[in-house]
Amino acid sequence: MENMHVTIKEERENGWTFLVEVGEEQNATQHSVTLEKNYYEELTGKRISPQELIQRSFEFLLKREPKESILREFNTRVISQYFSEYEEEIQKRCA
């Protein structure tokens, strides 16, 4: 799953909501992902861009579940409700 192609297609609402496509052409899934500015800063310390955090978050998710199981619309905060190690792993990767 980790070799799945992830594309951030578009940013909306002042750069904090992203349209993300996972996969290729007809087999792709689309996801609307909201990132809260304060959560972004808490996780990354601004060491990576918001887009890079979204990219890394999808890489994290795809290591754990197929693209079809990823919610179609979500706030990045909910990832840790499903995967308790999310925040710690993202913070380590940003250090």
How many helices (H) and strands (E) are present in the chain, helices listed first? 4, 4
86: which 2 tokens?
């999310």
Note whether residue 1 is domain-resident: no
Q: With 0-12 CB in 10 A as exposed, 13-18 as middle and 19+ as buried, what is 24?
A: exposed
Reported confidence tier of residue 3, pLDDT bands at 50, 70, 90: low
Note whether residue 55 is domain-resident: yes
Q: Are strands 73-75 and 29-34 parallel, antiparallel or unpaired?
A: parallel
The string of pLDDT tens digits covering residues 6-45 is: 888 777 767 799 999 999 878 899 999 999 999 999 999 9
pLDDT at residue 7, as a whole number: 86
The pTM score is 0.90
Question: What's the whole-number mean pLDDT along residues 72-91?
Answer: 96
Note whether residue 21 is domain-resident: yes
Note whether residue 78 is domain-resident: yes
List, in sequence order, every beta strand (DSSP E) within the chain: 6-12, 17-22, 29-34, 73-75
- When divided into structural domains, the chain yields a total of 1
22: which 2 tokens?
């996972």
65: which 2 tokens?
């579940």
pLDDT at residue 1, as a whole number: 45
